[in-house]
Amino acid sequence: MAFGAATRQGNWPVQEDSYWMEPVWGSYVLGDGMGGKGVGDSASSTIVKQIGKGLVSRLQEKSKQDEEEKGYKRLSKEENQMRHALVGGNNWLLERNDKVDADERAAVSVVAAQFLPSGRVILGNAGACGAMVLRRGKAILILRPQTFAISQGHVSGACDERFGSDFALSGLGFYRELEPEIRTCHFHKSDILLLFTEGFMPGDENILKKAAVLSNSTEIAGQTLEEQALGLLRLSSKEQSCQRNASIILIDCSSSREYE
């Protein structure tokens, strides 16, 4: 599959964003770590690899599908596989956090995409990442960054002092009762799927509109997806007074193909 990725550190002292991609199997994972140098960055890097490899292994080893069918009945088999991968990453991070002091604990926001041979795309999100589709000059937000946490079945807006007063608890590494958002999508051949961390558009959806216009302009005609990704990050940077860590992945939906 054709894809492009770009990242920037912004004004933050450490880069805690990570991404993992396996275009042959149509698997893409983006992570935004929290917890500081040596903590958030390490957790983010480990989590995206773990989730990505888990998605690929479930496609490669069909014997595991029976196990996944025991998940939520309201989710399809493939949706349960995505949920299982994200929940598994959450459990690993919780176990890690239990073994260290409070100031060494980490959390990770994650968004993942799994393209299937059928043409469907399974999206999973937990935390302050998101996904949109760029379609003929329009931006359609599919997964909005979550600003809440689910604890004991209740929505909580509580903040954690370790990560700043404006940070609402969400993502992997906080609660055992994590419930990621799972979506199944069907894209047009001309669509570009954009996965992004929170720093790409921190509360300003005008960035989405400008990104959609840019993606449909003659200005980027002939550019690779990697060059387009860099251009979108530069656009995001111009729109923000305080630059945060930001990473995006662009995926050309017309380039998907069967890989069985």
pLDDT in tens, 135-183: 888 888 898 886 444 333 434 444 444 444 444 456 899 888 788 889 9
Rounded to whole angstroms, the Cα distance separating 59 from 238 reads 40
Question: Cα angle at 71 between 68 and 73, to 5 degrees?
Answer: 120
Q: How far apart are the first and last CA of the chain?
A: 14
Q: What is the mean pLDDT of the chain?
A: 82
The structural domains of the chain, ordered by start, are: 3-255 (3.60.40.10)
Among residues 104, 92, 95, 130, the alpha carbon closest in space to that of 41 is found at 104
pLDDT bin (cut points 50, 70, 90) of residue 36 is confident
* pLDDT (mean) for 94-122: 92
- Percent of the chain clearing pLDDT 90 (strictly above): 40
